[in-house]
Structure 1
Amino acid sequence: MPRILAIDLGTKRTGLAVTDPLKILANPLETIETPKLLEYLKAYCSKEEVETLVLGLPIRLNGQDNEMTPRVLAMKEKLEKAFPDKKIELVDERFTSKMAMQSMIAMGSKKKDRREKSGNLDKVSATIILQSYLERQ
């Protein structure tokens, strides 16, 4: 069964999350360097069946674009060209980083683990974006 994959795009690192095959649960997948994102996604989609790519759309509280919005929209265009057979969805990602940090604290993550360069926060943010998308479906 095809999965849904979420992307929390960052300037340096990008967090990824994926559903289980039944599309019930969102799970952290990986944090990768942003320049390697398309290469990673092509490899992943060649191994796993993915029907939808969900991209977190950063916007301000007042609904205006922020400095990352144009980058996300440009990435959406790249994804549409690279994966013409997949649905590409944008999801409001306001508060996901804050929610991810609170979740990690609640789970007992130490300060060092939350700051870890492997991007734990990015993966958790992508998971929250994906879970939000699933709940709206």
Structure 2
Amino acid sequence: MRVLCVDPGEKRIGLAVSDPGGIIARPLMILNHVSRDKDAREIVTLAESMEVGLIVVGVPYQTGVEIGPAARRALRLAEAIRSMTHIPVTTWDESGSTQRVQALMREMGVSRRKQREPLDHRAAAVILQDFLDTQAALKKDLFNEGGFE
């Protein structure tokens, strides 16, 4: 199943998508934030055209569970998306995703100039890969608990 990930920000929204098998995430694009409803409509249109089976919205929880202003905005966007589509929408903790992208880019030797470009779609890919890896691990654990090793 193809999964679309949304990394909402105040100015830009990063999007990433998985392969059809839901194993590998890749950056897709960056949308400029307009309004919650317009952003949600554009995300839904894209998701439906790509025939995704799930939309994951990154929520920046503070200290893991606290709901701050950015998290509330992300949760409201997730709800707006839910209200416009039949595609299931879930949320995922995206705390620190931009910092992880920056660290990965430094490790890979990416130029400083390239590192200053908007990273929103790359952060969405990091969030999505974390989500996909966790789901795969959960499926593996369930499979092994059933005595199917």
Pair in the same fold by TM > 0.5: yes
Which of these residues, 121, 124, 128, is aligned with residue 122 of structure 2?
124
TM alignment of 1:1-137, pairs within 5 A: 2-35=1-34, 37-61=39-63, 63-83=65-85, 85-116=86-117, 119=118, 121-137=119-135
Instruction: Write the distance in 1 (CA, Å) between the matches of 2:2 and 2:64.
Output: 32
- The C-alpha deviation readout for 1:94-120, integer Å capped at 9, x for no partner, is 11111011111122221211212xx2x
Identity of aligned residues (%): 30
Instruction: Give the conservation status (yes or no) of the 8 Å contact 2:15–2:28.
Output: yes
Structure 1 or 2, whichever has the larger Rg, is 2
Aligned length: 132
The whole-number CA distance in structure 1 between the counterparts of 2:97 and 2:19 is 21
Deviations 1:17-53 (A, max 9, x none): 0001111100000011022533432332342111111
RMSD: 1.5
Corresponding residue for residue 138 of structure 2: none
Q: CA deviation at 1:62?
A: 5.4
1-structure distance, mates of 2:40, 2:128: 19
CA distance in 2, matches of 1:78, 1:62: 23
Deviation digits for residues 71-105 of structure 1 (CA, Å, limit 9, x no counterpart): 0111011011111x111111011111110111111
- Of 57-66 and 20-29, more deviation after overlay is shown by 57-66
> Is there any run of 5+ residues in structure 2 with no aligned partner, and where?
136-149
Q: Kindly report structure 1 stretches of 4+ aligned residues shifted beyond 6 Å.
A: none
Deviates more, 1:3-12 or 1:35-44: 35-44
TM-score normalised per structure 2: 0.82
The structure in which a higher percent of residues are strand is 1
Q: TM-score, normalised by structure 1?
A: 0.88
Letter in 1 for 2:5: A
